[in-house]
C-alpha cells in the first residue's frame, strides 16, 4: 500500500510552476487587516483562496504524476488571469482565458463574488479539472456538465480544508461527522443570500448549494430542465448536488475509517482530504468518457482505492455511491472492481459531427453541428458516426440549453431566432453556449454550437 500521509502544505506563493495565476488590477497590496468591500480585502481573500487551491492540487498532481496545463490556447501567455473588479454581474466565470468575478448592488449593498473563498475555489476548480481533462469542457451532456460543477464545488471544499483553523472549527461544528451541515457543506452563503433576495426558490435556504443533502440519482433525461432548489433538475448546477452529496458522505466515511472512531483529529482530516483529492483527480482523468459520467468516475474511485490504498476506504466509497444510486447496490458489492480505463486519444481521422435540425429548437431552417467527443475514438463513435448514447444526450442537452435560454445567438439573432425561447430579461440568464456560422454559403446555413464558460 502506498503512503497516504498528509503532505505539508507548501508555502503559498504566486506564481506556481506550471499552473500560473495572475491577479489583475491595481497593486501592490500590503498584507494587513482590511474592511470587507475594499480592494485590499478582496485581493487578499481571493489570493489566499487561489493559493490554497493551487497548492493543494499541485501537491496532488505531483503525487499522481498528473500533467496539468491551462487550456488558454496556443500562442497565448500561459498564466491564467484573474479579474476581481471589472464585471458588473452577480456571477463568476471560467471561460478558459481567465477567471472573472462579478459584483452587483443588492438591497443597497455591493456583493462581490470574488470576496468569497467558496466562489473563488469553485471557479478555480473548473480550471483545474480543465487542466487535466480538457475533453469535458465542451461535452454536450447534462451529466458531464454536472460533474464539472460537482468537481468545482468539491475542489472548493478540499481547498478550504487546507486551512488548519478551518479544520478545527469544522470538526467542532460537526462533532467529527462531516456529513452534517456546516460551514464546510454550505457553499456560497453570502451569494446565496443575495440571490435569495430576488429569487428565493432558486437557492437553498441557507446557502447557494448545500453538500449535506439527500438527493438520489435519477437519469437526468427523466428530470425537468429547471426547477426550484428543493427539487432535483437536470440543470448541471442542480444535478451536480447528487455527486457532491455522495462525495461529502464518502469523505466523512473515510475520516471515520482513518480515525477508527468518533473523535477524529485535524491531522487525520488533513490525511483523508489529501487521499480524497488524489482519488478524485485520478478518477476524473481516467474515467471512461460516457454521457452518463458519474458512474464511470465512481468506478475509477473504487478501483483507485483498491490498487493504491489496498481497499482501505472501500466501504466508505461503496456506501456513498450506492446510497445515492450513482452505482447499483448489486454492482458495487458483488463484483470485483476493475473498470476499463480510458485510452489515450485514438487518431482515427476526423469524426463526423452530429447534425440536428435547427427547427427542432425553435430556430429557422438550419443545421446545428455538435462536435463528437474524440478523445477515445473507438468508444465514442463507430464508423465515423457517434454512438446512440451520445447522440441522445447531445439532443437533450441542446433542447435544455434552449429551454433555459442559455444559448447566445449574437448576430444570428435576426436570421435564426424565429421562435427560439428567450429568457426573461430580468433573470439575467448567463448564455453559457453560443452559435456560430460554420457554413453560410448554401441555402440552409450550418451553425456550430460550443461552450463559452462555466459559471457558479
How many amino acids of this chain bind Zn ion (CB under 5 A)? 3
First to last CA, the chain: 38
Supply the DSSP symbol for 281: H
Residue 453 makes contact with Zn ion by CB under 5 A:
no
Stretch of 133-141, 149-157, 182-190, 320-328 lying at the interface with Zn ion (CB under 5 A): 149-157
Query: Residues 6 or more apart from 25 whose CB is under 8 A from it?
Result: 39, 43, 83, 84, 85
Binding-site member from 152, 242, 295, 401 for Zn ion (CB under 5 A) = 152
Give least dist CB 34 to Zn ion, A. 27
Residue 454 makes contact with Zn ion by CB under 5 A:
yes
Give least dist CB 443 to Zn ion, A. 39
Q: In the stretch 396-435, what mask flags binding to Zn ion with x, by CB under 5 A?
A: ----------------------------------------
Stretch of 39-47, 150-158, 192-200, 375-383 lying at the interface with Zn ion (CB under 5 A): 150-158
- Give the residue with the Cβ less far from Zn ion, 152 or 287: 152
Give least dist CB 305 to Zn ion, A. 27
Query: Residues 6 or more apart from 77 whose CB is under 8 A from it?
Result: none
Stretch of 8-16, 142-150, 180-188, 210-218 lying at the interface with Zn ion (CB under 5 A): 142-150
Q: In 3D, which of 125, 136, 94, 456 has the Cα closest to residue 287?
A: 136
- Give the residue with the Cβ less far from Zn ion, 187 or 454: 454
Stretch of 71-79, 110-118, 143-151, 371-379 lying at the interface with Zn ion (CB under 5 A): 143-151
Long-range contacts for 315-319 (Cβ within 8 Å, ≥24 apart)? 315/253, 315/257, 316/249, 316/250, 316/252, 316/253, 316/254, 316/256, 316/257, 317/250, 317/253, 317/254, 317/279, 319/249, 319/250, 319/253
Give least dist CB 153 to Zn ion, A. 8
Q: In what order do the strands lie in the sheet with 433-439?
A: 354-357, 367-370, 446-451, 433-439, 407-408
- Give the residue with the Cβ less far from Zn ion, 132 or 152: 152
CA angle at 412 for the pair 411 and 414, rounded to the nearest 5°: 90
- 433-452: which residues touch Zn ion (CB under 5 A)? none
Stretch of 144-152, 363-371, 408-416, 421-429 lying at the interface with Zn ion (CB under 5 A): 144-152
- Give the residue with the Cβ less far from Zn ion, 190 or 259: 190
Stretch of 63-71, 151-159, 185-193, 341-349 lying at the interface with Zn ion (CB under 5 A): 151-159
For residues 148 and 263, give the distance between their C-alpha atoms in angstroms, rounded to a whole number.
33
The kind and range of the H/E element at 367 are strand 367-370
Contact 395, 356 (CB under 8 A): yes
Give least dist CB 444 to Zn ion, A. 35
Strands 99-101 and 385-386: unpaired
Residue nearest to Zn ion (CB): 454
Query: Residues 6 or more apart from 163 whose CB is under 8 A from it?
Result: 52
Give least dist CB 319 to Zn ion, A. 27
The kind and range of the H/E element at 398 are helix 388-403
Q: In 3D, which of 430, 365, 426 has the Cα closest to residue 404?
A: 430
Q: Where are the alpha helices (DSSP H) in 309-376?
A: 314-323, 329-334
- Give the residue with the Cβ less far from Zn ion, 302 or 456: 456
For residues 104 and 120, give the distance between their C-alpha atoms in angstroms, rounded to a whole number.
16
Give least dist CB 1 to Zn ion, A. 35
Give least dist CB 89 to Zn ion, A. 14
Count of Cβ atoms closer than 10 Å to residue 352 Cβ: 13
- 331-350: which residues touch Zn ion (CB under 5 A)? none
Give least dist CB 152 to Zn ion, A. 5
Look at the block and give the residue holding cell 434552449. 402
CA atoms within 13 A on the CB side of 369: 14
Residue 70 makes contact with Zn ion by CB under 5 A:
no
Give least dist CB 24 to Zn ion, A. 21
Q: How many residues does the chain have?
A: 456
Give least dist CB 236 to Zn ion, A. 8
Stretch of 62-70, 141-149, 217-225, 429-437 lying at the interface with Zn ion (CB under 5 A): 141-149
Q: Which residues bind Zn ion (CB under 5 A)?
A: 149, 152, 454
Amino acid at each position: 500500500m502506498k503512503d497516504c500521509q498528509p503532505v505539508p502544505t507548501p508555502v503559498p506563493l504566486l506564481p506556481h510552476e506550471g499552473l500560473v495565476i495572475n491577479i489583475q488590477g491595481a497593486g501592490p497590496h500590503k498584507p494587513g487587516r482590511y474592511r470587507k468591500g475594499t480592494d485590499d480585502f478582496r485581493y487578499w481573500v481571493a489570493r489566499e483562496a487561489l493559493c490554497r487551491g493551487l497548492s493543494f492540487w499541485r501537491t496532488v498532481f505531483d503525487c499522481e504524476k498528473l500533467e496539468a496545463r491551462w487550456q488558454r490556447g496556443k500562442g497565448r501567455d500561459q498564466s491564467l488571469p484573474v479579474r476581481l473588479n471589472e464585471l458588473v454581474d452577480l456571477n463568476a466565470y471560467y471561460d478558459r482565458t481567465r477567471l472573472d468575478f462579478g459584483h452587483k448592488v443588492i438591497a443597497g449593498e455591493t456583493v462581490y463574488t470574488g470576496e468569497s473563498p467558496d466562489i473563488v475555489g469553485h471557479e478555480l476548480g473548473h480550471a483545474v479539472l480543465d487542466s487535466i481533462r480538457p475533453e469535458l469542457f465542451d461535452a454536450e451532456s447534462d451529466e458531464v456538465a454536472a460533474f464539472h460543477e460537482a468537481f468545482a464545488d468539491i475542489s472548493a471544499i478540499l481547498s478550504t480544508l487546507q486551512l488548519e483553523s478551518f479544520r478545527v472549527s469544522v470538526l467542532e461544528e460537526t462533532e467529527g461527522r462531516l456529513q452534517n451541515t456546516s460551514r464546510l457543506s454550505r457553499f456560497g452563503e453570502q451569494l446565496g443570500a443575495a440571490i435569495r433576495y430576488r429569487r428565493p426558490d432558486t437557492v437553498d435556504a441557507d446557502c447557494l448549494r448545500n453538500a449535506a443533502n439527500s438527493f438520489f440519482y435519477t437519469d437526468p433525461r427523466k428530470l425537468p430542465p429547471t426547477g426550484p432548489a428543493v427539487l432535483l433538475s437536470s440543470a448541471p448546477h442542480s444535478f451536480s448536488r447528487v455527486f457532491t452529496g455522495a462525495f461529502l458522505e464518502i469523505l466523512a466515511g473515510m475520516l471515520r475509517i482513518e480515525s477508527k472512531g468518533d473523535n477524529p483529529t485535524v491531522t487525520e482530516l488533513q490525511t483523508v482530504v489529501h487521499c480524497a483529492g488524489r482519488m478524485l483527480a485520478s478518477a476524473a482523468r481516467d474515467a471512461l468518457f460516457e454521457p452518463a459520467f458519474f458512474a464511470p468516475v465512481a468506478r475509477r474511485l473504487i478501483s483507485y482505492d483498491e490498487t493504491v490504498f489496498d481497499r482501505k476506504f472501500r466501504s466508505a466509497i461503496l456506501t456513498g455511491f450506492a446510497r445515492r444510486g450513482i452505482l447499483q447496490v448489486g454492482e458495487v458489492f458483488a463484483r470485483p472492481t476493475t473498470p476499463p480505463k480510458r485510452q489515450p486519444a485514438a487518431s482515427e481521422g476526423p469524426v463526423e459531427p452530429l447534425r440536428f435540425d435547427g427547427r427542432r429548437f425553435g430556430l429557422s431552417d438550419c443545421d446545428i453541428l455538435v462536435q463528437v467527443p474524440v478523445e477515445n475514438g473507438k468508444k465514442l463513435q463507430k464508423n465515423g458516426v457517434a454512438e446512440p448514447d451520445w447522440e441522445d444526450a447531445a439532443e437533450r442537452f441542446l433542447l435544455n440549453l434552449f429551454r433555459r435560454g442559455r444559448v447566445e445567438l449574437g448576430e444570428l439573432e435576426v436570421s435564426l431566432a424565429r421562435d427560439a425561447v428567450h429568457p426573461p430579461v430580468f433573470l439575467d440568464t448567463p448564455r453559457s453556449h453560443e452559435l456560430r456560422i460554420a457554413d453560410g454559403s448554401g441555402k440552409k446555413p450550418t451553425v456550430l454550437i460550443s461552450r463559452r464558460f462555466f459559471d457558479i
